[in-house]
Amino acid sequence: MPFLDLKFNDPRVKKALLQVPRDQFVPVEYQTLAYENIPLPIGYGQTISQPYIVGLMTELLTLKPTDKVLEIGTGSGYQTAILAELAAHVYSIETIEPLIKSAQEVLARLGYKNISLRQADGYYGWEEESPFDAIIITAAAEEVPSPLKSQLADGGRLVAPLGSPGGTQILWRFTKHKDTFIRENNGFVRFVPFTRR
């Protein structure tokens, strides 16, 4: 299994990748490729990210078992499940109705109780449940939406790919200290564009 070759500094991240059945989150026609370290289409112009990127973004969040996480872009629900293995509760937002319905079915079937899903415009976050200890954006935006910055707790971490669709994108981690955000560049990536309702 290619997952066994993936290396992360946090052993809990790799454990989560091994525990969550990725084949349950991909269309039937791609299930034979589910455990390859590649992105796969999930319909509606969206993809399930390659396991390494899922693991990397999760590791950059430095999650604790008591953390409350906001995910922007539920997609297939795979990243959501990985986060739920490591955090107390995951709040996830998706704009595409068929995707969130499918993710809800799979996550329920797998027995996750610490996930809340919402179909909405992720730009505005989930204000009534804020502040969040960590926020992850799973699509490329030009910049981090200001509502998400305000919903991040002091000391919280936000991980997002930023850049132009189809152009250069960089995976950034932001750490919030009062009103200041410390940025850390984690290399080039390629994500589908951040979509609005």
Both tokens of residue 115? 């996930």
pLDDT tens by residue, 121-141: 999 999 999 999 999 999 888
Q: Measure the N-to-C terminal CA separation of the chain; round to a whole number of Å.
A: 38
Sequence spans of domains, the chain = 2-189
Q: Look up 49 and say whether it is catalytic.
A: yes
pLDDT tens by residue, 71-98: 999 999 999 999 999 999 999 999 999 9
Q: What is the DSSP secondary-structure string of 108-177?
A: HHTT--SEEEEES-GGG--GGG--EEEEEE-SBBSS--HHHHHTEEEEEEEEEEEE-TTS-EEEEEEEEE
Whole-model pTM above 0.75? Answer: yes
* 3-class state of residue 97 by DSSP: helix
Task: Determine how many CB atoms are found less than 10 A away from the CB of residue 99.
Answer: 20
What CATH number should be reported for the domain whose range is 2-189?
A: 3.40.50.150
| Given 49, 92, 102, 130, the catalytic residue | 49
